Amino acid sequence: MTLARSGPATAWPTLCLIALCYLLWLGALWPLATLSPTFAVLVIAVSVAFHASLQHEVIHGHPTRLIWLNTALIAPALALVIPYLRFRDTHLAHHRDARLTDPYDDPESNFLDPAIWSGLPRGIQYILRANNTLAGRIVLGPVVGQVMFVLWDLRAIRAGNRAVLRGWLWHIPAALVVLALVGAAPLPVWAYLLGVYLGLGLLKIRSFLEHRAHDISRARSVIIEDRGPLALLFLNNNLHVVHHIHPGAAWYELPGIYAAGKDRFLRMNDGYIYRSYAEVVGRYLFRSKDPVPHPLMPADTTRQP
């Protein structure tokens, strides 16, 4: 599955941000690591989250029309634990909007089949409930998400899925290059790993309420009208229904598209809107927005993945 991109042959703003991301990352590994290891860890966290947002742009065909070049530009696995090819394949599957939030058909769903949920040990249920608060998603989400991601891929590899296996094999050199640079830098490896974890936690703010369970697929994607630092870090993906309707639009085009058709987008997503990330934090920092079991799935049957 591919998603057609829009815009000029070369998205220069995106190329500039890719260069900036690597400059920040390298600056954290060397000069900042010597001047202030604590600040270096924070910059690593921002770099890792920013790099993931840029990978998302590449998945949707930016910044050039050459797929191999785009892939090479974001190939280094700054986060170490997420193979780019697996991110690409699962994210493109996620863009089958009719299946959004389905625990089996949407790889990015945070819901579970109610029948599976009811059979989980209480301790696991407690962790998953905590993971459905914003604070829990930031603190626990990187581990919970990675465990589920790896278990799903191991199952696919055992079933003979060569594309999944290939994604992980290509990930090895991408991660080794990053580890070699980290090992040569004055920043301790444990500090880099802490920065990675913080960066993955930052990303969970973006994905926390991107989608909701709703009978109508076009009403499942959110609008967060934030124009602050988090919107830049997430490359305007907070205007999420706009992205799903115009997946080929570059990050810098999304605000204009939204402004030109705001009323239409809000009718399409049935008013699923927040004014800012501050509003999201105020509502859900320690409170769940959604249940873990999918509220629109029957509780008495279990589907096969």
pLDDT band at 2 (very low <50, low <70, confident <90, very high): very low
Give yes or no for residue 256 having a pLDDT over 50.
yes
Q: What is the pLDDT of residues 173-228, one digit of tens each?
A: 999 999 999 999 999 999 999 999 999 999 999 999 999 999 999 999 999 999 99
In this prediction, residue 13 carries a pLDDT of 97
- Annotated domain spans of the chain: 12-284
In this prediction, residue 302 carries a pLDDT of 57
Closest CA to 175 of 48, 80, 84, 83: 80
Q: What is the pLDDT of residues 38-83, one digit of tens each?
A: 999 999 999 999 999 999 999 999 999 999 999 999 999 999 999 9
In this prediction, residue 196 carries a pLDDT of 98
Q: What is the pLDDT of residues 130-175, one digit of tens each?
A: 999 999 999 999 999 999 999 999 999 999 999 999 999 999 999 9
pLDDT band at 1 (very low <50, low <70, confident <90, very high): very low
CB atoms within 10 A of CB 236: 23
Sign of CA dihedral 286, 287, 290, 292: positive
DSSP secondary-structure letter at 250?
A: -
pLDDT band at 261 (very low <50, low <70, confident <90, very high): very high
Query: CB–CB of 280/224 below 8 Å?
Result: yes
**Nearest-angstrom CA–CA distance, 84 and 246:** 22
**Nearest-angstrom CA–CA distance, 98 and 122:** 32
Q: What is the pLDDT of residues 220-253, one digit of tens each?
A: 999 999 999 999 999 999 999 999 999 999 999 9
